Each structure stands twice: as C-alpha cells, then as structure tokens.
C-alpha cells in the first residue's frame, strides 16, 4: 500500500494525510469503489487526492457545488412538503417518495463533499411553494426537475476536478430520470428535446427566485 | 451489468454469440485508426481475452491486469475526445438501428409506439450531431455497424430497450470525466441526460424503478459496454 505523500501544509485537513490509500490511479479509484458505495459518493475516502487537484482552483468547484446544493435544498424541501400536502396517492405518491429520498441524498452528499474540500456548505434557504392541488404540484415538479438538469449541464463544463465532475454527472442523470417520470405523470413527453438545453446560473437563479423567501 | 431477464432474449443473444460475433469484428469497424492494429495485437485479437469484471456495472477491479489494457479506454475508436465521440457514435448507431427495427416489427401501437418513435428520432439526431462533431474535429466518423436485435414480443423488446438506454446513460457518464474539451463535454452531457430520460420512461412502462442505481447513477466502462452490445453486432 502506498502512503500518501503530500505536503501537509497544502492540506486543509492534514490529519487525513495518515490515511493509506492503495496505490491506484484516481480514475480507477473513482470507478471502483467511490461511486458504488453510493451514500456520500466516497469522496471522504479520497479527500487527500481531491485536495491536491483542488488546490489550483478549489474555490470555483466549491462555489459550483454550493450552487448545486442550493438547488437540491430547494427540491428536497419541495418534495418533503409535497409528501405532506400535495394530495398524491398510488403510483404518483411512490414516485414522489423516491424523488424525495434521492434529493435528500443529494443534499447530504453535496454538503459532505463541500466540507471535504474545505469549503463551507450553504444553509438550506427559506422557501415557499404555492400549489392549489396535486396537478399544480406535479407541474411545478416538472419545472424544478427540468431546471435542475439544465442547471447541472450548464455549469458542469466549468468544473475543474474530474471527481467533482463525475459526482455532478451522477446526480444530473438522476435528475433527468426524475424529470422524465414526472413528465409522464403529467401526460407530457418524457424527453422534449434530443439535446437537453442548458441554463446559465443567472437564468437558473432567476427561475427559482419565486420560491425563495427573502 | 445489464441483466438478461427474458428467457427468449437470452437464447436469442446466445444464438448470435454462437454465430461468430466477436470483439475483433467490432474493433474492425472502429474507424480504422492507426491504433487499432496495435490494439488488436496487444489483445491477442479476439474476445476470448476479455476479462471484463463481472462485479456489476461499475468497477474495473481487473483493469490494470487486463490484457485489453484500461477497461474504460476508447482508444480503438480514436485518440482522446475523438475516440470518445466515435465510441458514442457507435452506441447511438446501435440505438437508432434498434428503434428502427422495433418500429418495423409492428409489435407496438398507441402511446408505446409514440414513445419508441420519439426515442428513435432522438437517437438519430444524436448520430447526426456526433458525426458532425467528429468531422468538425478533423476525424473520421465511425462506420455504422450491421446489427440484429431479438424482437420476440412487446415485453421482451421493452426490456431490451430499457437495458440499452440504461446502459447508454451509464456509458456517457463513464466517459464524461475523460473528455478534454469543454465543448465536447457540454455536448456529451446534453445527450447523457436525454438517454437518462429515455431509460426512466422505459423503466416506468415496465413498472421498474426509475433509479436502478439509487440517488447516484453509476458510470459504466467502455469495455463492459462494448461487451454488452457485442451480441447485437453482426
């Protein structure tokens, strides 16, 4: 086993330097265990590697992760509330439950990843969603999921770390799955475009502004 | 690893495998890159060398010891981003051909048929875009493979479609971190999420979970993906 050799003064968490990691290429590591483990995306175990790559421009990636975290907080709150008051039943309720679980997991993973990178995760924003009935809820869900896909796809090329990119890709795929399923519930096409459009951060934040309570 | 759930599909795949479909054949279609000859030589030339891990759809626990080299390599399709684009193009050709065959089969009608037509047309759009991207990058687009898919009944076909789309999404996810150009990455991601939409829609039709991997989708390596689609290339 190869002992990690990195100047501890470059580390935000030098105590992690003592973690021995098998001498593997990062790409192998990523492909092997980190993702399969699922829950926190395994980035905790490879923090020292990530730290080195991130030294160059970690602020950018941390900001992007916090942007993603904000959106996930929004979705998480939306579905948690929806399970209580959207009036869904049967297959739709099952779907909302699945999505809610996923968004919660995204919040947890992004929060942890930001911490592992030495950043400060944003807090859950105060939110307000207005929908009079189940149909209005699912219409709003469709907007949120489609916006999420466009947000991740829009910002992903700016991500510096390959590990963070892999994490974002893993999450956006799930958001796209959510979007398709919700669209089917709404009687809409699961895939309106052959190429999913992107949105800039400005456009996304403008789109979700109505749900943020000042 | 895509699981063959349907007995009929399993025996159809076995039939095709016994008809001599080999990885060499797949490689020989891979755009004739200079690397191909060296690649085949290193592999010993045929698919009996493949040591793809069987531990699920992710993981390359044999990658460093595989005679095929890195299990996520797309070198047989070209260098760097070009290779990745041609790999993606090959998969999109397969999907397009699959949906065309399914439409011709007459097995579907109504809203199921509409969904299949939609997905097929979007895969065809992906073929065009990826072909243009390869040419734009000064490369030679991978050739359209000759394919044959088992189409026995509607349920079996939906399962196969689900397998293919879920695999396609995982394949794009597996390549994303390897892409160098931000423009190519943006294009790949815009297609990746569409494959995910297709997969989720098909899973919904089948009464399966829309998120088979849970909250975090798993990437698939090129080696595994190519082995999985090999039975359909004739």
Mean pLDDT of A9-36: 44
User: pLDDT tens digit string along B115-149?
Assistant: 999 999 999 999 999 999 999 999 999 999 999 99
Confidence band (pLDDT; 50, 70, 90) for A59? confident
Each residue's pLDDT tens digit, B167-207: 999 999 999 999 999 999 999 999 999 999 999 999 999 99
In a domain, A37, yes or no: yes
Q: Is A127 helix (H, G, I), strand (E, B) or coil?
A: strand
Question: To the nearest whole number, what is the mean pLDDT of chain A?
Answer: 83
Same domain, A87 and A21: no
Taking the CA atoms of residue A73, residue A78, residue A80 and residue A85 in that order, the dihedral angle to the nearest 10 degrees is 160
SS3 state of residue A20: strand
3-state SS, residue A168: helix
Same domain as A181, residue A152: yes
Quote the pTM value: 0.77
Please count the structural domains in chain A: 2
Q: Are residue A134 and residue A36 in the same domain, yes or no?
A: no
CA A81 and chain centroid, separation = 19
From A128-142, B23-37, B47-61, the region with the lowest mean pLDDT: B47-61
A31 and A109 housed in the same domain: no
Q: Please give the residue that has the higher pLDDT: either A12 or A188.
A: A188
Contact A194 B122 (CB under 8 A): yes
Point out the residue among A35, A180, A198 whose CB comes nearest to the CB of B200: A180
| Residue A53: inside a domain | no
Structure tokens at A69: 């975290």
If you count them, how many residues does chain A have? 214
pLDDT at B114 over 70: yes
Helix segments in A24-127, DSSP class H: 26-29, 35-37, 47-55, 58-85, 90-116
Judged by CB atoms closer than 8 Å, whether chains meet at B215 and A156 is answered as no
Q: Give the tokens for residue A21.
A: 């990691």
- CA contacts within 13 A on the Cβ side of A178: 34
Please, where are the H alpha helices in A117-161? 134-155
Is residue A113 in some structural domain?
yes
B197 and A31: CB-CB below 8 Å? no
Whether A164 maps to a domain, the answer reads: yes
Q: Give, for B196, the enclosing helix (H) or strand (E).
A: helix B182-205
What's the pLDDT at B3?
45
Q: Can you tell me the distance from the alpha carbon of A28 to that of A36, in angstroms, rounded to the nearest whole number? A: 12
CA-CA distance, B69 to B143, in Å (whole number)?
24
CA dihedral A48, B57, B193, A202 (to 10 degrees): -10
% of chain A beyond a pLDDT of 70: 73
Residues from chain B that touch A111, judged by Cβ atoms under 8 A, are: none
Give the closest-approach CA distance of A171 to chain B in angstroms: 6
How close does chain B come to A85, measured CA to CA in Å?
23
Based on the fold, state whether residues A147 and A190 are members of the same structural domain. yes
Judging contacts by C-beta atoms under 8 Å, the chain A residues touching residue B198 are 180, 190-191
Q: How many CB pairs lie under 8 A apart between chains A and B?
A: 174
Looking at chain B, the number of H-run helices and the number of E-run strands are 8, 0
CATH number of A201's domain: 1.20.1260.10
Do residue B60 and residue A31 have CB atoms under 8 angstroms apart? Answer: yes
Q: Coil, helix or strand for A60?
A: helix
Residues A44, A101 within the same domain: no
Question: Alpha-carbon distance B176 to B227, whole Å?
Answer: 20
Q: 92-131 in A: which are within 8 Å (CB) of B? A: 95, 98, 101-103, 105-106, 109
Of the listed ranges A80-94, A130-144, A145-159, B49-63, the least confidently predicted one is B49-63
Residues A184, A95, single domain; the answer is yes
Q: How far apart are CA A30 and CA B174, in angstroms?
A: 10
Assess if residue A96 is contained within a domain: yes
In-domain check, residue A69: yes
Give yes or no for A213 touching B (CB within 8 A). Answer: no
Q: Which of A109, A147, A157, A169 to mutate to test the interface with B (most CBs of B within 10 A)?
A: A169
Tokens 């973690």 appear where?
A: A19
Is the CB of B199 less than 8 angstroms away from the CB of A172? no
Per cent of chain B over pLDDT 70 is 71
Nearest-CB residue to A184 (from B177, B193, B204) = B204
Give the residue-averaged pLDDT of B60-68: 41
Partner residue opposite B221 with nearest CB, options A31, A172, A191: A31
CA distance A171 to A183: 18
CA distance B177 to chain A (A): 5
CA distance B33 to chain A (A): 25
**Confidence tier at B23 by pLDDT (50, 70, 90):** very low
Together in a domain, A78 and A27: no
Residue B58: its chain A contacts at CB < 8 A? 31-32, 35-36
Q: What six digits make up the tokens of A78?
A: 């939306």
Q: Quick one: A71 and A156 in the same domain?
A: yes
Using an 8 Å CB-CB cutoff, list chain A residues near B63.
Answer: 28, 31
The two structure tokens encoding residue B132: 């243009």
Q: How many CB atoms lie within 10 A of CB B66?
A: 19
Task: Please name the residue that has the structure tokens 């398709």.
Answer: A180
How open is the CA angle B2-A151-A118, to the nearest 5 degrees?
90
Higher-pLDDT residue of B216 and B45 is B216
For residues B69 and B44, give the distance between their C-alpha atoms in angstroms, rounded to a whole number.
Answer: 12
Comparison of pLDDT for A165 and B19, the residue scoring more: A165
Nearest 5°: the CA angle B64, B68, B74 is 100
3-state secondary structure of B136: helix
**Residue range of the domain that includes A81:** 60-213
- The answer to the question of residue A158 being in a domain is yes
A157 and A88 fall within a common domain? yes
Residue A107 placed within a domain: yes
A40 and A146 housed in the same domain: no
Structural contact between residues A39 and A170, judged by C-beta atoms closer than 8 angstroms: no
**In a shared domain, residues A40 and A111:** no
């Amino acid at each position: 086993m190869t002992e990690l050799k990195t100047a501890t003064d470059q580390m935000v968490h030098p105590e992690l330097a003592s973690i021995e990691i098998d001498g593997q290429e990062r790409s192998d590591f990523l492909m092997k265990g980190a993702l399969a483990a699922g829950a926190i995306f395994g980035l905790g175990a490879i923090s020292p590697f990530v730290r080195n790559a991130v030294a160059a421009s970690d602020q950018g990636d941390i900001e992007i992760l916090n942007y993603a975290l904000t959106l996930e907080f929004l979705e998480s709150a939306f579905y948690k509330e929806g399970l209580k008051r959207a009036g869904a039943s049967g297959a739709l309720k099952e779907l909302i439950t699945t999505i809610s679980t996923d968004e919660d997991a995204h919040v947890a993973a992004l929060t942890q990843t930001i911490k592992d990178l030495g950043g400060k995760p944003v807090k859950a924003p105060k939110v307000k969603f207005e929908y009079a009935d189940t149909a209005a809820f699912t219409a709003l869900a469709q907007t949120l999921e489609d916006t999420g896909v466009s947000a991740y796809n829009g910002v992903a090329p700016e991500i510096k770390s390959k590990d963070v990119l892999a994490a974002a890709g893993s999450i956006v795929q799930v958001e796209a799955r959510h979007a398709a399923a919700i669209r089917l519930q709404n009687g809409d096409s699961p895939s309106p475009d052959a190429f999913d459009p992107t949105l800039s951060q400005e456009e996304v934040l403008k789109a979700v502004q109505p749900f943020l309570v000042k | 690893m895509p699981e063959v759930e349907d007995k009929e599909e399993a025996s159809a795949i076995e039939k095709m495998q016994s008809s001599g479909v080999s990885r060499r054949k797949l490689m020989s279609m891979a755009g004739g890159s200079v690397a191909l000859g060296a690649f085949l030589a290193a592999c010993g030339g045929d698919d009996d060398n493949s040591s793809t891990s069987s531990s699920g759809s992710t993981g390359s626990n044999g990658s460093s010891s595989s005679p095929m080299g890195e299990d996520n390599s797309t070198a047989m399709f070209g260098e760097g981003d070009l290779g990745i684009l041609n790999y993606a193009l090959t998969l999109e050709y397969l999907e397009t051909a699959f949906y065309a065959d399914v439409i011709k089969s007459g097995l579907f009608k109504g809203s199921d048929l509409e969904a299949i037509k939609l997905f097929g047309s979007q895969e065809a759009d992906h073929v065009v875009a990826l072909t243009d991207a390869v040419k734009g990058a000064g490369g030679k687009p991978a050739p359209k493979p000759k394919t044959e898919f088992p189409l026995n009944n509607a349920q079996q076909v939906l399962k196969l479609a689900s397998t293919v789309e879920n695999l396609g999404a995982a394949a794009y996810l597996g390549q994303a971190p390897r892409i160098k150009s931000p423009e190519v990455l943006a294009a790949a991601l815009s297609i990746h999420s569409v494959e995910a939409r297709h997969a989720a829609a098909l899973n919904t039709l089948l009464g399966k979970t829309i998120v088979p991997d849970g909250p975090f989708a798993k990437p698939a390596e090129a080696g595994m993906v190519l082995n999985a689609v090999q039975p359909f290339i004739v």
